[in-house]
């Protein structure tokens, strides 16, 4: 009788079965959540009564717009926290419990440790994120809920552009080294679907994670870790 052995490298095995692998280094996992699971999660997490969204961010009393810089968004978050204090969980904030469930599922499925989660809300069909790179110093995976938006990834040298359009419940993984070779942007719902049948809010949940030690290709240099910790301390302090 042959004894069946279990896998030794579940993180790497997970990447091997990605639905799509882009030349830029991105891994796509379509249907990470089933349509029913995605609908339930969206309905809970989009509700600012059940999840502590700051739906009208301000800085020094002035409303921020989609063109606000990363620095302005950071200062706004610090100002909001100073004004409102730490978020205290109660039974009404079901979104925090749902986010905890999603975090645990990602950790289990990918054999990783999630450090932090950033929550991005795209409330309008014309809301975009222009060309940029992430500077947070960790690998990320992103869960899409709500409307679909086309994403574009542009090679810094060749200027070649790859595209994808995640649907609700899809998850994609962006290794840190993508930021050395590519910029990316999020197109508006109107650009993605000119017919206008894609006008729902988009929720984009960014999970920062540390890969397991056996995934040596994904080891993060210490300097990058320090940059990430400095940024997060400025938000969380």
65-93 in b/e form (b: 16+ CB < 10 A) is eeeeeeebeebbbebeeeeeeeeeeeeeb
User: Considering the domain boundaries, does residue 43 fall inside one?
Assistant: yes
Which CATH number is 162's domain given? Answer: 2.60.120.590
Query: HSE (CB half, 13 Å, CA atoms) of 33?
Result: 25
Cα torsion for 77, 114, 210, 156, to the nearest 10°?
Answer: -50
Total structural domains within the chain: 1
User: Considering the domain boundaries, does residue 101 fall inside one?
Assistant: yes
User: Considering the domain boundaries, does residue 2 fall inside one?
Assistant: no
Cα 17 from Cα 28, distance rounded (Å): 10
pLDDT, one tens digit per residue, over 119-132 is 989 888 888 888 98
pLDDT, one tens digit per residue, over 66-103 is 777 767 877 888 888 888 887 777 778 999 999 999 99
Q: Which domain holds residue 205?
A: 10-52+87-236
User: Considering the domain boundaries, does residue 14 fall inside one?
Assistant: yes
User: Considering the domain boundaries, does residue 42 fall inside one?
Assistant: yes
Reference 138, options 19, 223, 64, 199; nearest CA is 223
User: Considering the domain boundaries, does residue 5 fall inside one?
Assistant: no
User: Considering the domain boundaries, does residue 79 fall inside one?
Assistant: no
């Amino acid at each position: 009788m042959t004894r069946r052995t279990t896998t030794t490298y579940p993180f790497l095995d997970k990447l091997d079965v990605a639905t799509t692998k882009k030349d830029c280094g991105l891994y796509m996992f379509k249907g990470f959540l089933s349509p029913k699971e995605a609908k339930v999660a969206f309905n809970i997490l989009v509700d600012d009564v059940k999840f502590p969204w700051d739906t009208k961010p301000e800085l020094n009393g002035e409303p921020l717009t989609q063109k606000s810089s990363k620095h302005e968004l950071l200062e706004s978050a610090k100002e909001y926290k100073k004004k409102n204090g730490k978020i205290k969980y109660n039974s009404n904030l079901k979104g925090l419990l749902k986010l905890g469930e999603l975090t645990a599922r990602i950790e289990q499925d990918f054999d990783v440790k999630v450090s932090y989660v950033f929550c991005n809300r795209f409330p309008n069909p014309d809301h975009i994120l222009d060309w940029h790179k992430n500077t947070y110093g960790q690998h990320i995976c992103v869960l899409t809920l709500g409307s679909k938006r086309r994403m574009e990834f542009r090679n810094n040298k060749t200027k070649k552009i790859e595209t994808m359009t995640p649907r609700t419940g899809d998850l994609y993984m962006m290794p840190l080294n993508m930021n050395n070779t590519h910029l990316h942007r999020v197109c508006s719902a109107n650009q993605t679907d000119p017919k206008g049948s894609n006008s729902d809010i988009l929720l984009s949940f960014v999970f920062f994670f540390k890969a397991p030690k056996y995934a040596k290709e994904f080891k993060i240099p210490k300097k990058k870790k320090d940059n990430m910790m400095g940024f997060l301390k400025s938000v969380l302090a």
